[in-house]
Amino acid sequence: MTAILEESRGGRILPLTGNYAVAMAAKMARVQVVAAYPITPQTSVIEKLSEYIEAGELEATMIRVESEHSALAATFGAAIAGARAFTATSSHGLLYMHEWVHWTGRARVPIVMAIVTRAIAPPWNIWPDHSDFYDQRDAGWVMGFAMDNQEAFDLTLQAFRISEDPRVYLPVMIGLEGFILGHTTMPVHIPDQEAVDEWLGPRRQGFVIDGSEPLAHGNLAWPEDTEEMFMDIHRAMMEAKSVIREVDEEYYRITGRRYGGLTQCIRCSDAKYVVSSMGAWSGDIMEAVEKLRGEGYPVGVLRFRFIRPFPEEDVAEHLAGKKLVVVFDRAISFGSMGQLFMETVAHLAKHTGKLPVLRNIVAGVGGVNVEWREFYELIKDSIDRFEEGGELEYFTWYHKARR
Amino acid sequence: MGVVVLLVEIIWLGRGGQGGVTAANILVYAALREGLYGQGFPFFGAERRGAPVMAFSRISDRPILRHGMFSEADVLVVLDPKLPLIEATRRVLVRDRGVVVVNARDDEALDPRHYRLEGSAKFYAVDATRIALENKLVVAGWPVANTSMLGAFSRATGLVRIESVVEAIKEYFKGRIGEVNAKAALQAYNETKLVGEVARSVQVHG
């Protein structure tokens, strides 16, 4: 939501779909290997990269595999051998490669993967929600999520820098909703290639297996050694927080754009109520909040740009001491609540003895379209009822029947 | 972030395969040439060739925060003259002081009763199918009227200049195909006429 037409540094502005913005970022990172399998709504990311390679604009090898399981395995193989490697998938493709998501994360191999999110079947559905993305939370990947096409580009490029930082050396996945961003054309600011080259630098990774040195990977380890390696992953993940903030600041140097680190908080400092969210509809929520501000409601928006590592400090800073916090989730852990809500509350509780009044609203699951005006109504209703001293439902599944 | 000064929402109503999505996207290119922010996207999900289908555009002088589909529009562009007759146009609520741009050669498609109007509306018409045929813009047996309707959009709304539309089309379609489409857009721009004006609502919502 940066005013790119007014504030960009150098480079050029192109109309791009979210998927093409991701492909452009991978190209500008000069990825050397792409291994992928087509799936709606991701396919146009890989199609575009394939076109770049065919046209000679990108010097890379495209490995066409027979499944997503092999796609990430091949990406891993290229990455572990020293190549900057990239892949993208959605929904069932992501679930099919889930074993490799864990393997690559626990192997500490820098990789970047775009997840163009889509609901999980049955019933068969190609519309976007966050279920496939949240399903990957525990695999040792840094996980970011875009709000618009510009951020899809920025985050993908930043992901390479974060992943290849020696303090991190973990794979990074970037989420963007299918269709809502993936197939939507918007203007995107593209920095100059030279500026990106200088900012990103050459490929870095913890270890390389290219046949020149004998090195074994993935062999049997005792439980204690295994646990120590996993403790290292956790430490690297915590370290990634400061790396993400640094990268955000340094990216400002070449683009004139920064987002605020792991989260973006709009209208938060004097807010009594805060609405929290992740993804494209955060923009709709910001528009709703602007309208409410105009009507005198002291309300702000805490938008998550990253959920792994979880931005605990941001949550403490922006949510502790508020009167009311409403968290919107576009997925649910069946039998529990929305994932973003659960994590927000768990981390907030560590930092404050007196929790705000909390409300979780699950919506948009299965790709249900939610318009900014509906957010306006839901947020206004929550605040009004809170101020009138009424009981607020802790958990609500906001659903509209098909018209 | 500030108050939105200008935000126009546009629905392109056509049949699957008629190029409504392309038109919605090219409009983003044209808007950019005017220094405006744009958004263009298809109906989310699968589409069937020949079935009535919508595509969407937004134009603003500020970064566009909202996303997703909408059913109320400031501008409704109808790519197929038969769609009003089967009332497909009534899926859209045209906002007060709205603009309706129709690919039509006769009055039947322009009857306000085929539309849901919130208040006043201006109706513009152009025979885009004929223009497409004259320029041999035929794909898989169908005249492709989308670029002509972009020219008509420019004339009817004044939101983007025809020069920007022409350049945007040439940027989108490289080479000769771009030239031909740009020519059709310019021709449609010149032939688009204000054909009716509804002073107030003729239909209640629904």
**Within a domain: B206:** no
What gap in Å lies between CA A138 and CA A134, rounded to an integer? 9
Mean pLDDT of B108-121: 94
- pLDDT number for residue B101: 98
Q: What is the pLDDT of residues A175-184, one digit of tens each?
A: 999 999 999 9
Judged on CB neighbours under 10 Å (0-12, 13-18, 19+), A169 is: buried
Complex ipTM: 0.94
Predicted confidence (pLDDT) at residue B3 exceeds the cutoff of 70: no
Of B3, B32, B65, which has the smallest distance from its Cβ to A15's Cβ?
Answer: B32
Q: Inspect the interface and report whether the beta carbons of A128 and B44 lie closer than 8 Å.
A: yes
In a domain, B71, yes or no: yes
In a domain, B1, yes or no: no
Q: Cα(B132)–Cα(B150) distance, rounded to whole angstroms?
A: 12
Would you state the pLDDT for residue A344? 98
Spatial CA neighbour of A271 closest among A317, A311, A339, A307: A317
Predicted local distance difference test score (pLDDT) of residue B108? 86
What are the chain B neighbours of A3 within 8 Å (beta carbons)? Answer: 62-63
pLDDT over threshold 60, residue A273: yes
CA end-to-end span of chain B: 35
B169 found inside a domain: yes
At residue B202, the pLDDT reads 52
CATH number at residue B107: 3.40.920.10
User: For residue B45, what pLDDT band results from cuts at 50, 70 and 90?
Assistant: confident
Instruction: Residue B92: give the domain boundaries.
Output: 7-198
Phi, psi at residue A264, to the nearest 5°?
-125, 125
Whether residue B140 is contained in a domain is answered as yes
- Of the candidates A343, A110, A87, the residue with the CA atom closest to the CA atom of residue A236: A110
Q: A238-260 pLDDT, tens per residue?
A: 999 999 999 999 999 999 999 99
Q: Which of A179, A301, A368 to mutate to test the interface with B (most CBs of B within 10 A)?
A: A179
Q: Is the per-residue pLDDT at A12 higher than 50?
A: yes
* Inter-chain residue contact A187 with B3, CB threshold 8 Å: no
Q: What is the mean pLDDT of chain B?
A: 93
- Tell if the CB–CB gap between A180 and B37 is shorter than 8 Å: no
Q: How many domains does chain B have?
A: 1
- Calculate mean pLDDT across residues A194-212: 96
CATH number corresponding to A4-255: 3.40.50.970
Residue B201 has pLDDT above 90, yes or no: no
The whole-number average pLDDT for the span A67-86 is 98
CA distance B122 to chain A (A): 26
pLDDT per residue as tens digits for the range B116-164: 999 999 999 999 999 999 999 998 889 999 999 999 999 999 999 999 9
pLDDT for position A1: 67
Predicted local confidence at residue B206, as pLDDT: 42
What would the mean pLDDT of A32-60 be, rounded to a whole number? 98
Which chain B residues have a beta carbon less than 8 Å from that of A265? none
Note whether residue B191 is domain-resident.
yes
Averaged pLDDT, A281-297: 98
Residues of chain A with CATH 3.40.50.970: 4-255
Q: Give CA–CA dist A58/A88, Å, rounded.
A: 17
Q: Which residues contact B24 (CB under 8 A, 6 or more apart)?
A: A185, B10, B12, B40, B41, B42, B55, B56, B57
Mean pLDDT of chain A: 97
Amino acid, single-letter form, for residue B158: G
Instruction: Flag whether pLDDT at B106 surpasses 50.
Output: yes
Closest in B25, B36, B69 to A369, CB measured: B69
Q: Which fold has domain A263-397?
A: Rossmann fold (3.40.50)
Which residue intervals of chain A bear CATH 3.40.50.920? Answer: 263-397
Q: Give the pLDDT confidence score for residue A274 in this predicted structure.
A: 98
Which chain A residue shows the shortest CA-CA distance from B46?
A: A126
Across the range B94-112, mean pLDDT stands at 93
What is the arithmetic mean of pLDDT over A50-66? 98
pLDDT band at A2 (very low <50, low <70, confident <90, very high): confident
What is the sign of the dihedral through the CA atoms of B80, B82, B86 and B90?
A: positive
Beta carbons of A71 and A37 less than 8 angstroms apart:
yes
Q: Which of B37, B41, B66 shows the shortest C-beta gap to A372?
A: B66
User: What is the arithmetic mean of pLDDT over A121-141?
Assistant: 97
The answer to whether B12 contacts chain A (CB < 8 Å) is no
Instruction: Confirm whether B2 is domain-assigned.
Output: no
Is B37 part of the contact surface with chain A (CB cutoff 8 Å)?
Answer: yes
Write down the pLDDT at residue B1. Answer: 42
Inspect the interface and report whether the beta carbons of A284 and B46 lie closer than 8 Å. Answer: no
Q: What is the pLDDT of residues B77-87, one digit of tens each?
A: 999 999 999 99
Classify residue B87: in a domain, yes or no. Answer: yes
